[in-house]
Copies of this chain bind each other. A is one copy, B any other.
Amino acid sequence: MPRKRLTREESRDQTRERLLEAGAAVIAKKGLAGSSVEDIAAHAGYTRGAFYSNFGSKNDLFIDLLKRDHADIQESMQQILDAGLSKKDLQTRLAEFYVQAYCGETSFALWAEARVCSLRDPKFRARLNALMLEKRDTIGHFIELFCKAMDKQLNVPGRDLAFGMMALVDGVRFFNVCMPKELPEENAKDVLHTVFAALFFD
């Protein structure tokens, strides 16, 4: 195996990458406060030195992590939005929201963790809110578009309702993850579908 001899920058990026990946795994498993810098570095195959050479603090790495994941989510939402808008397809697309949200298990845990951090630390909250609001806007925009297409009048601004839909999707996913026996995937989808239908189709 002719392992390529890495340039300095490549090497640095690689470590950074690995640290982020390890951070995601470790933080998802033990929570932010429960993960030591050493944990993360070791999990990535490095020492603390590498960590501090790449990130200012655990918080910084965590925010980076969230930003990345957020960008991914935003992008896949945009893709759905941009794709096409035939009334028929829209309904299908709507259902995809749930599946779309948090493809991975770690992603979900990360955002749950972010929630509580946000609840406690105003500085963190400010940084997270920015991301949440971006998401809210995307979804809100989608809702308005959707309602216009369906000739459905709502008595709440789409931006506000977007919060509700985010809450719903997140929360239902949470129950689904924590007690898959009591709320299996299928039922979770049904619940969402029922609410969506009641809101947008009846």
Please report A residues at the B interface, Cβ cutoff 8 Å: 29-31, 33-34, 108-109, 112-113, 115-120, 125, 128-129, 132-133, 136, 154-156, 160-161, 163-164, 166-168, 170-172, 174-175, 177-179, 182-183, 187-188, 190-192, 194-195, 198-199, 202
Contacts and interface: CB of A to CB of B under 8 A. Distances in A.
A61 B170 CA distance: 28
B30 A190 contact: no
Contacts of A118: 178
Given A109-B116, A129-B182, A167-B175, 11 more contacts: A30-B33, A30-B120, A115-B174, A118-B178, A133-B179, A136-B182, A164-B168, A164-B192, A167-B167, A167-B168, A195-B199
A100 B151 CA distance: 35
Describe A's contact surface by its main secondary structure: helix
Contact of A156 (B164, B166, B182, B190): B190
Contacts of A120: 29-31, 34, 109
Q: What are the nearest 5 A-B pairs in CB distance?
A: A167-B171, A33-B33, A198-B198, A164-B191, A33-B34
Given A132-B179, A167-B167, A178-B129, A161 B194 contact: yes
